[in-house]
A and B are shown apart, each in its own frame.
Chain A
């Protein structure tokens, strides 16, 4: 399967099953419209292809281009056939748990309008995780991680800084236990920044491999949806602290992470604003919300949002060329040494490799499922884990999602977020369509950006 498109002035051809990406001239780009799969190389360019292109290109150009297409196909770089279906059919992943999202605080000092966590409560009342439960979660992941050396702990909420003493206690405990059990713990924390101070920053810099800082863009954009209990916006309080933290981490190993909604479907300006503030690591993602909410993104926004990604890609490479580039998470793609095919088939790991732990110790497939009793998998308090739910997630992969079969993006998104699929379509194997539209556009932009960087 191939996918061809034009972006940033380049003709791009993706060979889906080999992962090859080509930049081609107009002759080859047009020729590929007239070649069907499965491809069989012929000694000379077929007459029907010649006839279709004869008015536009010379015989020599057509012959050369066809020969090059044949050579690429022979090298396994074009029209590569699917060799992963059998792997997926015999899928027996036997996962181990290697990452936990610890909900250390089901409470928050902001009341963000779009909060999927019900402004911190996760539909279960405000509560904080105790150090005791947190330590049991560490014991749980050590016991369930098999031979995995690298283990990730993500402190999440609500707002984790509302329970920072416990964060520190859990972190110190994990470091000690990691040494005993030959596990390398990596910690990340997500925060809205309100409670960030010098001491907290110092501890984060010393211990956290990544920190996610929530900020949506301009003051107007941010404060419209990210406000405190009294309704006042958060922008002025957090931006100076985020700048300081980003600088203290040498502008690396952090993300300023925002959400865009129907209120700012023209979100490219918000990403650029983050870059203008000096942030080098950014991520701004579409809100996922039921259509009944007035801030929800809907089908009617697809055209605008896709045009914004195009616009952002243009600005992005312009800044890169001018030596003032920055990273936008969804435009980052490693064409050479990205994840292996197995990882691309299986996706994010939610429900089997990655689990979320609520303040009371209850285990869910991921942070998005917390509070949904249908997905309660067990508890770190007694070490129970529902293998049926685990298997359901483990078995889900690109090939269990019929909608992904003909999609060029499938090995870049692994069929998307299970929680979104379940929340919109009642089935973790039925991807959330709006998310797919955005994902495909982002991927096209990401690959074009990478092509631009490589070709100069």
Chain B
């Protein structure tokens, strides 16, 4: 494409079907203790 560069595989929909194993870290355990941040958590199933 000439006018756009897509940065990722946009797999959020698929992850709704296959996700939810629950093995990932709870969000507050890493650094944030007052500002819930979820999207910087790692997926335990990721390579």
Contacts and interface: CB of A to CB of B under 8 A. Distances in A.
A and B associate in one complex: yes
A326 interface: no
A411 B16 CA distance: 12
Interface residues of B, number: 45
Contact of B3 (A64, A149, A348): A64
Given A64-B2, A101-B29, 11 more contacts: A18-B12, A19-B12, A21-B7, A65-B3, A68-B3, A83-B16, A333-B39, A334-B42, A348-B38, A354-B29, A446-B39
14 contacts: A21-B7, A24-B3, A68-B1, A116-B34, A188-B30, A259-B34, A338-B39, A340-B20, A343-B20, A344-B39, A348-B38, A349-B28, A350-B26, A412-B38
A339 B35 contact: no
A367 B4 CA distance: 44
Interface string A21-39: 1111101100000000000
B36 A154 contact: no
Interface of A: 13, 15, 17-25, 27-28, 61, 64-65, 68, 71-72, 76-77, 80, 83-84, 87, 95-96, 98-99, 101, 116, 148-150, 152, 154, 186, 188, 190, 210, 212, 255, 257, 259, 283, 285-288, 329-330, 332-344, 347-350, 353-354, 366-368, 411-418, 420, 435, 438-439, 443, 446, 450-451, 454-455
Contacts of A348: 26-28, 36, 38
A77 B27 contact: no
Q: List 6 tightest A-B contacts by C-beta distance, closest first.
A: A340-B19, A19-B12, A20-B10, A342-B20, A340-B15, A337-B46
B21 to A, nearest CB: 8
Contacts of A332: 40
* Residue from A27, A80, A283 with most neighbouring chain B CB atoms (10 Å): A283
Contacts of A438: 35
A343 B7 contact: no
Contacts of B47: 337
Main secondary structure of the interface of A (DSSP, over half): mixed
Nearest to B18: A340
Contacts of B32: 283, 285, 329-330
A342 B16 contact: yes
A210 B30 contact: yes
Contacts of B25: 99, 150, 152, 186
Nearest to A354: B26
B17 to A, nearest CB: 9
Contacts of B45: 340
A148 B23 contact: yes
Contacts of B37: 329-330, 412-413, 439
A296 B31 CA distance: 21
Nearest to A19: B12
Nearest to B34: A288
Contacts of B21: 340
B19 to A, nearest CB: 2
Contacts of B9: 336
B5 A338 contact: no
A337 B25 CA distance: 14
Given A87-B16, A154-B29, A343-B41, A15 B34 contact: no
